[in-house]
């Protein structure tokens, strides 16, 4: 998958100055599979960047292209198809279903994509240290535990690009390392790449390209 930005500037960020290294008001192209990190302090537009590529935000000027196609021309149905087959995401606000159990949250995605056996879901939960939480309602979990559920959910589909918006913000270094290893392994299996946004912690992340805001 190829992502191309041509002078993109979100409307809410028009008032702010953007440096020559910034992804905003700049032109660049990334060919995936590749491991990319986007490091910036809070309020610079990390989530805006991720959500723009994911098609949730369309309030920008300039052109964004996915595989040479201008995303402003994509229909909702085309976005949905992309989100099922090529693009996966870990939202900063997780977007889990709080009234469903951990397992139901994972099954909801897995039943849609038919991507993994249920035994593999349990393996992943255990690997991330929440194997005993599978029947608990998500709303009763800590933020760190919820974050791990969201990480596993993002891996239950084929993808060429995994977008991660501060996915380890509530995890300690050890758990972040375990999660990152799992993500790296699944990404390789999918022959895909990812973009990780972070406030500064790299969690031992071995990236190939860094973007700035």
Partner 1 sequence: MLKEILFRNKTNFQFVFATIGALIGLTALCLSFQLMLDVQSFHSGEEDLFGPNSVVIQKKVTKLSSLGMNSTDFSDEEVEELRNKEFITDVAPFESADFRVAISEVEGDGLPPFYADMFFQSIPDRFLDLDVDWDWNEESEYIPIVLPRDFIMIINYGIAQSQGFNQISEELMLAARLTIHIKGKDGNTKMIGRVVGFSQKISSILVPKSFLDHANEKYGSGNKIQPNRIFITTVDDSYGELEELMDDMNLDIAKSAIDVAKIKTIIGVVIGIFGIAAVLIMLLSLMGFVQYSQLVLSKASYEIQTLLRLGYSIKMIVKTFIKQMAITFGIITISAISIMILIKLLIVDVWLDDNGIQLESSSLIPAILLAILCFGIFVGANFLNVKKTVRKLGE
Question: Which token pair is 40?
Answer: 């910036």
- Candidates 2, 6, 107, 212; binder of partner 1 (CB under 8 A) is 107
* Interaction between residue 76 and partner 1 (CB under 8 A): yes
Q: What Rg value do the Cα atoms of the chain yield, rounded?
A: 17
Strand-pair category, 161-165 with 193-198: parallel
* Interaction between residue 99 and partner 1 (CB under 8 A): yes
Could you give the CA distance from residue 147 to residue 145 in angstroms, rounded to a whole number?
5
* Interaction between residue 113 and partner 1 (CB under 8 A): yes
Nearer to partner 1, 124 or 176 (CB): 124
For every residue of 82-137, DSSP letters joined together read HHHHTEEEE-TT----TTSBHHHHHHHHHHHH--S-HHHHHHHHHHTT-GGGTTSB
- Candidates 3, 36, 37, 89; binder of partner 1 (CB under 8 A) is 89
Number of residues that bind partner 1 (CB under 8 A): 24
Question: Which token pair is 144?
Answer: 């760190």
* Interaction between residue 84 and partner 1 (CB under 8 A): yes
- Candidates 14, 29, 61, 97; binder of partner 1 (CB under 8 A) is 97
Helix (H, G, I), strand (E, B) or coil at 15: coil
Query: 71: buried, middle or exposed (CB in 10 Å: 19+, 13-18, 0-12)?
Result: buried
Among positions 129-188, residues that touch partner 1 (CB under 8 A) are 153, 157
Nearer to partner 1, 74 or 205 (CB): 74
Nearer to partner 1, 15 or 77 (CB): 77
Q: How far is CA 125 from CA 39, 77, 132, 155, in A?
A: 28, 31, 8, 12
* Interaction between residue 49 and partner 1 (CB under 8 A): no
Q: Which stretch binds partner 1 (CB under 8 A): 28-36, 38-46, 104-112, 195-203?
A: 104-112
- Candidates 1, 6, 65, 108; binder of partner 1 (CB under 8 A) is 108
Question: Which token pair is 39?
Answer: 């490091």
Nearer to partner 1, 99 or 126 (CB): 99
- Candidates 5, 49, 54, 194; binder of partner 1 (CB under 8 A) is 54
- The residues with which 33 forms a beta bridge, in sequence order, are none
The residue ranges that bind partner 1 (CB under 8 A) are 54, 56, 76-77, 80-81, 83-85, 89, 91, 95, 97, 99-100, 104, 107-109, 111-113, 153, 157
């Amino acid at each position: 998958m190829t992502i191309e930005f041509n002078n993109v500037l979100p409307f809410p960020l028009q008032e702010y100055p953007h440096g020559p290294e910034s992804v905003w008001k700049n032109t660049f192209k990334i060919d995936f599979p590749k491991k990319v990190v986007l490091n910036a302090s809070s309020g610079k537009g990390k989530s805006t960047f991720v959500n723009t590529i994911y098609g949730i935000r369309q309030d920008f000027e300039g052109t964004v292209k996915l595989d040479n196609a201008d995303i402003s021309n994509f229909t909702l149905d085309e976005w949905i198809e992309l989100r099922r087959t090529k693009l996966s995401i870990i939202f900063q606000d997780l977007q889990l279903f709080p009234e469903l159990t951990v397992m139901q949250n994972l099954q909801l995605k897995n039943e849609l994509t038919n991507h993994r056996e249920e035994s593999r879901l349990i393996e992943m939960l255990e690997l991330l240290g929440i194997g005993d939480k599978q029947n608990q309602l998500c709303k009763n979990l800590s933020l760190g535990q919820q974050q791990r559920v969201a990480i596993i959910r993002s891996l239950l589909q084929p993808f060429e690009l995994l977008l991660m918006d501060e996915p380890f913000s509530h995890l300690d270094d050890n758990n972040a390392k375990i999660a990152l290893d799992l993500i790296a392994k699944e990404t390789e299996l999918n022959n895909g790449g990812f973009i990780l946004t972070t406030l500064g912690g790299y969690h031992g992340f071995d990236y190939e390209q860094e973007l700035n805001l």
